[in-house]
Amino acid sequence: MLPENILNLKVFPNLIASASSLLNLSDRQIWERFNQYPICFIEFYEKEERQKSVEIRFDREQTSITCLFDESDRCDFAFIIPDHLNPLTDFVNFFNAIYDFDAVRCRWILANGFLSQKRSKEGVCFMINR
């Protein structure tokens, strides 16, 4: 049984499954799978560098998922970005309750990839990759 203070995180496994399902998809395939949600397609150019991303908004869950693409235009990283974070320890406890943790690489092991936390100036997000 999960601790009472993290039961409100129960939508997170669905978000993790959605983010995991994006891995290795093209932007077109992502559009076909998630076109019922608001989606923003972004291409950023600087000098000879090009970075492509797709952001999917989940209003009810108050979360966005952003995909970054590799050279083959396939999603290779998906970031789950909640609007509001519970204390980070709530997420860690929740993930520890349902996923195995790889302490050497500091990430949780999913069925088809890995989940890790990433810190930035804006806060914390969760990254899924293979």
Q: pLDDT confidence of 9, banded at 50, 70, 90?
A: low
Q: Which residues of 105-123 are buried (b: 16+ CB within 10 A; e: fewer)?
A: eebbebeebbbebeeeeee
C-alpha to C-alpha distance for 106 and 119, rounded to whole angstroms: 13
Q: Compute φ and ψ for 32, nearest 5 degrees.
A: -65, -35
Condensed to tens digits (0 to 9), the pLDDT of residues 77-117 reads: 999 998 877 677 888 888 999 999 999 999 999 998 999 99
Q: Residue 55 forms beta bridges with which residues?
A: 40, 66
Q: Residue 116 forms beta bridges with which residues?
A: 127
Claim: this prediction has a pTM higher than 0.85: yes
